[in-house]
Amino acid sequence: MFDKTLAELAQGLKSGDFSSVELTQAYLNRIKAEDEKYNSYITVTEEQALAQAKAADEAIAAGTAGAFTGLPFAHKDIFCTQGVRTSCASKMLDNFISPYNATVVEKFNAAGGVMLGKTNMDEFAMGSSNESSFYGAAKNPWNTECVPGGSSGGSAAAVAAQLAPAATGTDTGGSIRQPAALCGITGLKPTYGRVSRFGMIAFASSLDQGGPMTKTAEDAAMMLNVMAGFDKHDSTSVDRAVPDYTADLNKPLDGLKIGLPKEFFMDDLDSEIAERTQAAIKEFEKLGATVKEVSLPNTALSIPAYYIIAPAEASSNLSRFDGVRYGYRCENPVDLEDLYKRSRGEGFGAEVKRRIMIGAYALSEGFYDAYYNKAQQIRRLIRDDFAKVLSEVDVIMGPTTPHPAFKIGEKTSDPVAMYMEDIFTISLNLAGLPGMSVPCGTVNGLPTGLQIIGDYFAEQKLLNVAHQFQLATDWHTQSPQGI
């Protein structure tokens, strides 16, 4: 049962092979038995999940069920969930019980989904390894000595370890695609504004975007059908019709034009990942695609630009956590200044503090023009690079990460080395483009991902391309040893 995709589970529910309550209980039992190895969940919502599953079974029996009714999944613990702790993996919000639902949560509730729990993550989504979590690092099911990636590492680990058939994630600089690649699953970052950010605790508001993390592209399409859409509560949400993302999955790829950026094959790229990427490209050529080398000349500038813009926005967004309104509050403050200093000093972890300080510095008088404005100018150059290339090709492809999963603790003392793990993913967030990662091989027993990039609102095309690749290969069906 646990190796089935969402699509297969939906068919099983429809044909009566099992009930949603039986399916949900099976996953809850598995989480209890196995998650101690992986630390992929922060909160398991057993009582709520079984109540939702019971309601789903009643809807199925009444003939009023939708495509997602009764299917279990997990939410990244960044989505506010009414009556459930929403911690953002931070001591600052360890005691926060959300009084309302994020729009994404409301959409899954309306679709009849069954939430198994809230998954582990880097604190406030700041990290590339899931090591900054207040609750301890999540572990990669392919090798528990390695990181699962971040910040959506708990979601990726839960799906890879078959502790959930699917999960939500968020992507600010690669935080869906990078952990998806490192854990051998499928992850999709939609176009900025395609999925509502209302109730998704903000890290960097102009970069954050929620999306699905699943076993297959078909499952990602099912999830995006639920998640996507305009939201009047989110001023950055785009008022644009939502297609059926499953409708075009089986379109042939004859005539598909693929761009291969030379900048993605840099000296620091693991040679075996480069080989797996090139082998994946050859599969697309067999499917009727043509390939041309293209250039994204400002790719190397994406890391420095991102690490000015994202911390600047984070320093503003996280100013609300001050020990006054909600969340962590220090004990026995002597005055208001002491309350602010100690609540924030004790409530935030090291990586969050680092980014707040970088952001505050970049926005300070005398440095705003030199750093923040310059980073925004570079952001425009990166966007223009993509626009030029995407006027010539249908999709851009390359490796998702420069290396396979690294050991827990290996890069914690070198933040710059950690930041460089997102070199291929960050530029999409700066441009607001959609992208996804699909499994395309293994390197020393660890998975690696192929990144597929499209034009704005081209998620349907990306899912079609990924699905056809998965019909022709079996990398997405492989599981960690012992699972």
Catalytically active residues are 76, 151, 175
Residue corresponding to tokens 């291929």: 424
Contact indicator for 10, 85 with CB cutoff of 8 Å: no
Q: Which amino acid is at 391?
A: S
d(Cα 9, Cα 7) in Å, to the nearest integer? 6
Integer CA distances (angstroms), 227 to 51, 86, 245, 292, 483, in order: 22, 19, 11, 34, 29
Strand order in 41-44's β-sheet?
41-44, 114-119, 72-76, 166-170, 210-214, 186-189, 435-443, 446-453, 395-399, 257-261, 290-294
Q: Which amino acid is at 189?
A: K
Q: Which of 386, 361, 387, 389 lies closest to 375 in space, CA to CA?
A: 361
Integer CA distances (angstroms), 359 to 122, 267, 315, 363, in order: 18, 30, 5, 6
Beta bridge partners of 117: 44
Contact indicator for 137, 147 with CB cutoff of 8 Å: yes
Buried residues in 59-88 as b, exposed as e (16+ CB within 10 A)? bbeeeebbbbbbbbbbbbbbbbbeebbbbb
d(Cα 43, Cα 356) in Å, to the nearest integer? 27
d(Cα 464, Cα 252) in Å, to the nearest integer? 8
